[in-house]
Chain A
Amino acid sequence: MLTIKNLHASIEGNPILKGINLEVKAGEVHAIMGPNGSGKSTLASVLAGREEYEITEGEVLFKNKDLLDLAPEDRAREGVFLAFQYPVEIPGVSTTNFLRTAVNQVREYRGQEPLDAVKFLSVMKEKMKLVEIDQKLLSRSLNEGFSGGEKKRNEIFQMAMLEPTLSILDETDSGLDIDALRIVSNGVNKLKSAETATIVVTHYQRLLEYIVPDFVHVLYNGRIVKSGTKELALELEEKGYDWIKEEANAASV
């Protein structure tokens, strides 16, 4: 589904990603871990098409299309979803109104009929259960005055509504208490299918107890320096990142 080949990206001339290679197949869950500043969030942003990053080398194929060639909105319409680490606030625009615009633009791109208000509401009601989100919250201005947990739940709710094929969760666990973490993870798990894939970007192993990855990759200094199964995450939890850094630094000498 997603193939990343030798991806290099920089911001304001500073290289952040220095040759990422990754293959994600339908049905898989990949976890990207790594110390602060290793490039995890950059990778998520580059895949979603944030414009301040410059791609200097490499390619990304998504469903056999050149992903880097697509505008951010078209990537979303093709099925790439990014759950933001810091979801933005849009005053005066309710989540409902926002999502209706989004869902119908995505549907139009996919050649589907737009959902009318009634239909949209019934779809919404069904998806609301997934993340145990309250309708009152959805009629408030998007993310304005939401708690950290509410924002993250809202992200997963949007993911449910947009039905992406590739979901990228950028530090979705940050700022969540244990209950919220459970609810959010349950939502993600229920949305998984044999046709979809998930990339979980996280610092901590904690989230991976709930969203169990098939593969774990460690990103350090702009490269994937180690890949393994979920056991690797446990090892990292226990030993920290220093040994990885040492290994990587030794290898690059």
Chain B
Amino acid sequence: MSKDNQILEEFTSKEYEHGWSVNYEADEAPIGLNEDIIKWISAKKEEPQWLLDWRLKAFRHWQEMTEPEWANVTYPKIDLQALRYYSAPKQAKKPKSLDEIDPELLQIYERLGISLNEQKRLQGIAVDAVLDSVSVGTTFKETLSKLGIIFCSFSEAVQEHPELVKKYLGSVVPMTDNYYAALNSAVFSDGSFCYIPSGVRCPMELSTYFRINAANTGQFERTLIVAEDDSYVSYLEGCTAPQRDENQLHAAVVEIYAAKNAEVKYSTVQNWFPGDKEGKGGIYNFVTKRGICAGDNSKISWTQVETGSAVTWKYPSCILKGDNSVGEFYSVAVTNNYQQADTGTKMIHIGKNTKSRIVSKGISAGKSQNSYRGQVQVMKRATNARNFSQCDSLLMGDKCGAHTFPYIDIQNSTAMVEHEATTSKIGEDQLFYCNQRGISTEDAVALIVNGYAKEVLNQLPMEFAVEAQKLLALTLEGSVG
């Protein structure tokens, strides 16, 4: 092993920072999965009959499905009957305001650096915090409601705005879409709901912070964002989990609906526990994220910084239905140690003059495998569709892998589709140059990696960009080569 590789190795063997868990009393569903469990969850959440019916329909459909195996990842089969599908921190009664939330729960978020206390919040970000299966609190609700913006937990939306939930739930990701989306539809417990009325520009970043705390619990949250005509919203999602020996399952669904002239920006900084250096433990992250640009001139932009999870399987996609609509996907996916990521996007051009842009930056270190999988589809009616894709891979060391699987399907001859791809290694020359200027190897790697990912990081809101930069450096600490 070269000296270079040795340094890389040291640099990428940094431990996971959020690997603590808190003991709190939880309200849990029995272990296992069947119709009774689904009824139990629905009853627990005092849901209307139509939603229970919807869940059961999804469950029955799911039972007919088989787990997909086409992704470039390997992991032992998950025993879905050994999981718990609902775990909620026990509170005397439902909190009416943030003041009534159990201080211990607030502390969990304080430890993560997320203060739910509105006074202390960074200005301009409203947060919905989800612990295990339920939302524990949403900040800035009043400020937002004055503008007609609804930002609350999914359960609350079911109670307070059933007509909206009924109209849009499953409209972008049908319950039958895929194995994990169907499972999520059957057992989802909570998540965030966001509705921006016509003509409203949301004045602050909306943010959801997900944390898995309980052991042997799957987290199945559901996020639904609806942006009406001429509206704008920027939405952030952050994720962490404790360090556990067993793998935990996270199978979320995110749906975005953008009406005429609406714009939705969705940013994720995903830092689920990736497993330890030997590849033990970690989160299986099987997520379905999709947005539809339903109205003309609408725009949906996905930005993701993926540093965590043992196995990631995730393709935030855009259906460009409205004429002149725009879809964007910016991604940095880092894998280290034994992590596996199969991630990318789908851009489906249906409307005329639709445009999409894909910028994917993969970084592989340790013994990890990092795959980009992307599909660009131009339908018959989509005249003058444009796509630009750029897929770059950066390798650190000589034991990791980077793979690119682009799929292009064009049915309209006016389409213009460009694909660029590069693969590079952090060079000894670059490291030596930095060293010669007095920069330590660790900082040199952080500098080079952040430079490489800059185009994507620039898409993130300021506070998130800083957090993401630190996270990138942290994830790769001990991995230089």
Binding site for B on A (CB under 8 A): 48-52, 71-73, 75-77, 81-82, 84, 87-88, 90-93, 97-99, 101-103, 105-106, 109, 141, 158, 162
Decide: A90 and B3 in contact? CB cutoff 8 A.
Answer: no
Decide: B447 and A98 in contact? CB cutoff 8 A.
Answer: yes
Decide: B433 and A88 in contact? CB cutoff 8 A.
Answer: yes
> B449 — nearest CB in chain A belongs to which residue?
A92
Range class of the B interface residue count: 20 to 34
Decide: A76 and B433 in contact? CB cutoff 8 A.
Answer: no
B348 shortest CB reach to chain A, Å: 30
Q: Assess A92 versus B440: contact at CB under 8 Å? Given A49-B435, A72-B432.
A: no
B174 interface contact, C-beta 8 A: no
Task: From the candidates B432, B439, B441, B452, name the one contacting A50 in the complex (CB within 8 A).
Answer: B432
B448 interface contact, C-beta 8 A: yes
- Bound: A73/B434 CA distance, A: 8
CB contacts (< 8 Å) of B447 on chain A: these are 90, 93, 97-98, 101
Interface residues of B in 416-465 (CB under 8 A from A): 427-430, 432-441, 443, 447-448, 450-455
Q: Assess A102 versus B439: contact at CB under 8 Å? Given A51-B3, A92-B454.
A: yes
Among all A-B residue pairs, the 6 with the closest Cβ atoms:
A92-B451, A93-B451, A92-B454, A72-B435, A102-B437, A76-B438
Q: A90-B430, A93-B447, A98-B437 are in contact. List 12 more A-B contacts (CB 8 A).
A: A52-B428, A73-B441, A76-B438, A84-B433, A87-B433, A90-B448, A92-B450, A98-B434, A98-B439, A101-B447, A106-B438, A162-B437
Decide: B438 and A48 in contact? CB cutoff 8 A.
Answer: no
Decide: A105 and B435 in contact? CB cutoff 8 A.
Answer: no
CB contacts (< 8 Å) of B429 on chain A: these are 88
Interface residues of B in 90-127 (CB under 8 A from A): none
- Bound: A75/B440 CA distance, A: 11
- Bound: A90/B451 CA distance, A: 7
- Bound: A127/B244 CA distance, A: 53
CB contacts (< 8 Å) of B433 on chain A: these are 84, 87-88, 90
Decide: B452 and A77 in contact? CB cutoff 8 A.
Answer: no
- Bound: A99/B4 CA distance, A: 23
Task: From the candidates A48, A90, A91, A103, name the one contacting B436 in the complex (CB within 8 A).
Answer: A48
CB contacts (< 8 Å) of A48 on chain B: these are 432, 436
Task: From the candidates A71, A99, A109, A158, name the one contacting B435 in the complex (CB within 8 A).
Answer: A71
Decide: A92 and B437 in contact? CB cutoff 8 A.
Answer: no
Task: From the candidates A88, A92, A97, name the one contacting B427 in the complex (CB within 8 A).
Answer: A88
- Bound: A71/B3 CA distance, A: 13
Counted as pairs of residues, one from A and one from B, with CB atoms less than 8 Å apart, the total is: 79
Decide: B455 and A105 in contact? CB cutoff 8 A.
Answer: no
A89 shortest CB reach to chain B, Å: 8
> B451 — nearest CB in chain A belongs to which residue?
A92
CB contacts (< 8 Å) of A49 on chain B: these are 435-436
Decide: B451 and A141 in contact? CB cutoff 8 A.
Answer: yes
CB contacts (< 8 Å) of B453 on chain A: these are 92
- Bound: A220/B435 CA distance, A: 29
CB contacts (< 8 Å) of B435 on chain A: these are 49, 71-73, 76
CB contacts (< 8 Å) of B427 on chain A: these are 88
> B426 — nearest CB in chain A belongs to which residue?
A90
Decide: A92 and B438 in contact? CB cutoff 8 A.
Answer: no
B421 shortest CB reach to chain A, Å: 15
9 A-B contacts (beta carbon < 8 Å): A52-B428, A73-B439, A76-B436, A90-B434, A91-B451, A93-B450, A93-B454, A101-B439, A109-B438
B219 shortest CB reach to chain A, Å: 34
Decide: B437 and A76 in contact? CB cutoff 8 A.
Answer: yes
- Bound: A118/B112 CA distance, A: 31
Q: Assess A162 versus B438: contact at CB under 8 Å? Given A88-B427, A90-B430.
A: yes
- Bound: A9/B443 CA distance, A: 29
- Bound: A82/B435 CA distance, A: 11
Q: Assess A82 versus B436: contact at CB under 8 Å? Given A88-B427, A88-B430, A105-B443.
A: yes
B103 shortest CB reach to chain A, Å: 37
- Bound: A102/B430 CA distance, A: 14
> A106 — nearest CB in chain B belongs to which residue?
B438
CB contacts (< 8 Å) of A50 on chain B: these are 432
A41 shortest CB reach to chain B, Å: 13
- Bound: A129/B437 CA distance, A: 21
Decide: B454 and A101 in contact? CB cutoff 8 A.
Answer: no
CB contacts (< 8 Å) of B455 on chain A: these are 92
A85 shortest CB reach to chain B, Å: 12
A194 shortest CB reach to chain B, Å: 23
> A91 — nearest CB in chain B belongs to which residue?
B451
